[in-house]
C-alpha cells in the first residue's frame, strides 16, 4: 500500500475477476494482506452485478473468461463507470489484445505468471496516480456515479424527510446511531448518507454484515488477529474497526452478534480501543459506529438474546425507517428511478409503467420494501416485450390476457403513435375519444400493410386475435364494411 494511504487509513475496494479459482484466491490473499477490501467474481456478469451494488476503486480482470471476456467487460466498465481504473491480466498475451485493452482505457496489462510483488507494485501505481475513487473526497458521489452506481435517498414522505433532517443534525457528532426498520427499507443507504454528511467523509466507510459470517470468522473480521493466533492465521490482519479508523463503521444486522462477542463489542465502544486475537496490547481507534437491525431489540433484550447494556450504548440516536407501504408519496419516484437505472444498465429503452402497473404499485403492500421494488423493476426491464411495463412483467401471479396489448388505455394509444411513426398532423385528435383515435391507428396500420393483418398487428404491438376482434367490433357498429 502506498505510504499516504497507510497514514490516512483509507481502505481501497478492489474487485478481482477471474474464472480460475486458484488465481482468485491468490489475489484475494495478497491484496487483503495489504489492507485492501477485496471482493471476487468468477465471471464478467457477476462482476457487473457486484459493481452496480457497490462501485470498487480498482478492478483487476482476466481476459479469457466465459460469456463476457475481459475486453468486453473493460468496455462495459468504461461505459458505466468511466472513472474506475482497470488492470488486465492474461496468460494468452498477443499484441492485438494488449493494444485493444489499452485503447479501451485499461490502466495496465500484466502477463501471467506474475509475482505478488508485480501485482502489489501495479496496485500502488494505480492509487498513486490520483485516479478519482469513491474514497477521494474531492470527487462527489454524484459526479462519480452518473449511471446510478450508488442509489441516492429518494423521498418526499414527511416522516422520511424528518428522519433525513435528524440524520443530518447528528452526522457531525460521534454519537452511535441505531437504524431500525424492516428488511429492504434502505438502512445501509441511510448509514452511507450519515457518513457523507459528516466530517468523517474523508475517512473510510466500512460495512460488515454480522449475519453473513460464521461465529469464528466474525470475531476475526471485527477485531483482527495477529499472525499465529489460530490455525490459518499466517499474517497479521486488521479488523473492521481498525480499517474504519477515522471514518465510519456500519455494523449491519447487529442483532445477530452472539452474546459472548457482544461483551467484547461493548468494551470496544466504551474504551475506543480494540484487542486483536492473539494481540499483546490494545490498539486505539477513532471510529463512528452506525448499527442497523430489522429485529425488535427490546424483545431480544427481554428474551436474554441481546445485552441490555450494549443496547443502551447503541441506541443513543435511534432512527426508525418507515416501510415502503407507509411512503405512498415516494413509490412512483422510486419506480421511475429504478426503471431508468436498469434500462441504462442493460441498454434497454426506458419504458413507463402501464397505468395498471402504477395502480398496483400504489396498492401493493411491499413486504420486501424498496429492495423488493428494485428487484421487481430489474426483472421487468429484462422481461418486458411490450411498449409499457405491465403487471405480468413484475409478478408471476398476474397472467397476461390473450390480447396482452389491447388498446384501451390512453398510454397505449400514445405508444402506438410512436410505434407507427405517425405524426401529430396525421391524426388530428381534436375532440375525438380514445376509441376513435384507436380505430384510426388500426385503419392506418392496415392501409400501411395493404390489409395484411399479421403485419398490421405486429406494427400495432397487438396479437392478430385482438386485431380480428377489433375489426369484428367495427363491422358490428357499421363503421367498417365486411371484407
Which residue would you say has higher pLDDT here, 118 or 427? 118
Summarize the confidence of residues 217-246 as an average pLDDT: 80
pLDDT for residue 3: 43
Domain count, the chain: 4
Q: Is residue 309 part of a domain?
A: yes
Position 2 pLDDT exceeds 60: no
Would you say residue 49 has pLDDT above 80? yes
pLDDT for 93? 56
Residue 340: which domain range? 325-394
CATH of the domain at 417: 1.10.10
pLDDT number for residue 482 = 56
Average of per-residue pLDDT across 338-343: 89
The residue among 321 and 2 whose pLDDT is bigger is 321
Decide: pTM greater than 0.85. no
> Per residue in 77-116, is it b (16+ CB within 10 Å) or e — as a string?
beebbebbbbbbbbeeeeeebbebbeebebbbbbeeeeee
- What average pLDDT does range 195-201 have in this prediction? 89
Q: What is the CATH number of the domain that holds 61?
A: 3.40.50.2300
pLDDT at 285 over 90: yes
Mean per-residue pLDDT of the chain = 80
Are 342 and 449 in a shared domain? no
Residues 112 and 202 in one domain: no
Regarding whether 106 and 163 lie in a shared domain, the answer is: no
User: What gap in Å lies between CA 49 and CA 345, rounded to an integer?
Assistant: 10
What local confidence, expressed as pLDDT, does residue 151 receive? 58
To the nearest 10 degrees (0 to 180), the angle between helices 434-448 and 410-419 is 20
User: Could you tell me if 71 and 101 are in contact, meaning their C-beta atoms sit under 8 angstroms apart?
Assistant: yes
Per-residue pLDDT tens over the stretch 390-400:
999 999 888 77
- Pair (414, 345) in one structural domain: no
The shares of helix, strand and coil residues in the chain, as percent rounded to the nearest 5, are 45, 10, 40
Point out the least confidently predicted range of 26-40, 108-122, 144-158, 245-259: 144-158
pLDDT at position 234 is 66
From 280, 304, 322, the end of a domain falls on 322
Please tell me whether residues 332 and 376 are part of one structural domain. yes
CA dihedral 191, 193, 199, 205 (to 10 degrees): 50
Residue 275 lies in a domain: yes
Contact 248, 135 (CB under 8 A): no
266, 293, 322 — which closes off a domain? 322
C-alpha cell at 326: 407507509
| Residues 209 and 254 sit within 8 Å (Cβ to Cβ) | no
- My answer on whether 318 and 329 are in the same domain is no
What pLDDT is attached to residue 98?
Answer: 67
Residue 176: inside a domain, yes or no? yes
Q: What confidence category does residue 105 fall into, taking pLDDT thresholds of 50, 70 and 90?
A: confident
196 occurs within a structural domain = yes
Does 417 or 299 have the greater pLDDT score? Answer: 299
Q: In this structure, are 307 and 220 located in the same domain?
A: yes
Q: Are residues 139 and 247 in the same domain?
A: no
Q: What is the 3-state secondary structure (H, E, C) of 138-163?
A: CCCHHHHCCCCCCCCCCCCCHHHHHH
Instruction: Determine the Cα angle at 313 with ends 310 and 316, to 5°.
Output: 140
Query: Would residue 150 count as lying in a domain?
Result: no
What CATH number is given to the structural domain containing 223?
3.40.50.300
Q: Are 290 and 371 within one domain?
A: no
Is 80 exceeded by the pLDDT of residue 448? no
CATH number at residue 384: 1.10.8.60
Q: Does the pLDDT value for residue 411 go beyond 80?
A: no
Asked whether residue 34 carries a pLDDT value surpassing 70, the answer given is yes
Per mean pLDDT, which range of 66-75, 300-309, 315-324 is the poorest?
A: 66-75
**pLDDT-based confidence at 453, cuts 50/70/90?**
confident
Average pLDDT over residues 202-217: 84
Checking if the pLDDT of 69 tops 90, the result is no
Average pLDDT of the segment spanning 287-308: 94
Report residue 195's pLDDT band, with 50, 70 and 90 as the boundaries.
very high
Are 191 and 289 in a shared domain?
yes
Has residue 400 been placed in a domain?
A: no
181: left (phi over 0), alpha (psi -120 to 50) or beta: left
Looking at the fold, whether 203 and 85 belong to one and the same domain comes out as: no
| Average of per-residue pLDDT across 251-257 | 93
Give pLDDT tens digits for 417-429.
Answer: 444 444 333 444 4
Q: What's the pLDDT score for residue 439?
A: 77
Phi, psi of 15 (to 5 degrees): -110, 120
Residue 405 lies in a domain: no
The pLDDT of residue 92 is: 67
In a domain, 19, yes or no: yes
Same domain, 288 and 336: no
- Cα–Cα distances (Å) from 287 to 53, 177, 284, 384, in that order, read 24, 12, 10, 46
> Per-residue pLDDT for 261 more than 80?
yes
Amino acid at each position: 500500500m502506498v505510504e499516504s494511504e497507510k497514514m490516512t487509513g483509507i481502505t481501497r475496494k478492489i474487485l478481482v475477476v477471474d474464472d480460475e479459482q486458484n488465481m482468485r484466491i491468490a489475489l484475494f490473499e495478497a491484496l487483503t494482506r495489504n489492507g485492501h477490501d477485496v471482493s471476487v467474481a468468477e465471471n464478467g456478469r457477476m462482476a457487473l452485478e457486484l459493481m452496480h451494488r457497490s462501485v470498487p476503486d480498482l478492478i483487476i480482470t482476466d481476459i479469457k473468461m466465459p460469456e463476457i471476456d475481459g475486453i468486453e467487460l473493460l468496455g462495459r466498465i468504461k461505459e458505466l463507470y468511466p472513472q474506475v481504473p482497470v488492470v488486465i491480466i492474461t496468460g494468452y498475451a498477443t499484441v492485438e489484445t494488449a493494444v485493444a485493452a489499452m485503447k479501451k482505457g485499461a490502466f495496465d496489462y500484466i502477463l501471467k505468471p506474475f509475482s505478488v510483488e508485480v501485482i502489489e507494485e501495479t496496485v500502488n501505481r494505480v492509487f498513486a496516480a490520483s485516479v478519482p475513487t469513491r474514497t477521494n473526497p474531492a470527487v462527489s458521489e454524484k459526479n462519480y456515479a452518473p449511471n446510478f452506481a450508488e442509489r441516492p435517498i429518494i423521498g418526499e414522505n414527511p416522516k422520511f424527510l424528518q428522519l433525513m433532517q435528524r440524520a443530518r443534525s447528528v452526522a457531525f457528532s460521534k454519537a452511535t446511531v441505531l437504524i431500525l426498520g424492516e428488511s429492504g427499507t434502505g438502512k445501509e443507504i441511510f448509514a452511507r448518507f450519515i457518513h457523507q454528511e459528516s466530517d468523517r467523509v474523508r475517512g473510510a466507510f466500512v460495512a460488515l454484515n454480522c449475519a453473513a459470517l460464521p461465529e469464528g470468522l466474525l470475531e476475526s473480521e471485527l477485531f483482527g488477529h495477529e499472525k499465529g493466533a489460530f490455525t490459518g492465521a499466517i499474517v497479521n490482519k486488521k479488523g473492521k474497526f481498525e480499517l474504519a479508523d477515522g471514518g465510519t463503521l456500519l455494523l449491519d444486522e447487529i442483532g445477530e452478534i452472539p452474546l459472548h462477542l457482544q461483551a467484547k463489542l461493548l468494551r470496544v465502544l466504551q474504551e475506543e480501543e480494540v484487542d486483536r486475537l492473539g494481540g499483546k496490547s490494545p490498539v486505539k481507534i477513532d471510529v463512528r459506529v452506525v448499527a442497523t437491525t430489522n429485529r425488535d431489540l427490546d424483545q431480544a433484550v427481554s428474551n436474554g438474546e441481546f445485552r441490555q447494556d450494549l443496547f443502551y450504548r447503541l441506541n443513543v440516536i435511534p432512527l426508525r425507517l418507515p416501510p415502503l407501504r407507509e411512503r405512498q408519496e415516494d413509490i412512483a419516484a422510486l419506480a421511475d428511478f429504478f426503471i431508468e437505472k436498469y434500462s441504462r444498465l442493460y441498454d434497454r429503452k426506458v419504458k413507463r409503467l402501464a397505468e395498471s402497473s402504477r395502480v398496483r404499485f400504489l396498492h401493493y403492500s411491499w413486504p420486501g420494501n424498496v429492495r423488493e421494488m428494485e428487484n421487481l423493476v430489474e426483472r421487468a426491464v429484462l422481461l418486458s416485450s411490450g411498449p409499457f411495463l405491465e403487471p405480468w412483467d413484475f409478478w408471476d401471479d398476474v397472467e397476461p390476457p390473450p390480447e396482452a396489448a389491447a388498446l384501451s388505455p390512453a398510454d397505449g394509444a400514445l405508444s402506438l403513435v410512436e410505434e407507427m411513426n405517425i405524426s401529430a398532423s396525421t391524426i388530428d385528435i381534436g375532440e375525438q375519444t380514445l376509441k376513435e383515435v384507436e380505430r384510426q391507428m388500426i385503419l392506418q396500420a392496415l392501409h400501411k400493410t395493404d390489409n395484411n393483418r399479421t403485419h398490421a398487428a405486429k406494427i400495432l404491438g397487438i396479437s392478430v386475435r385482438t386485431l380480428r376482434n377489433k375489426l369484428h367490433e367495427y363491422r358490428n357498429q357499421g363503421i367498417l364494411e365486411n371484407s
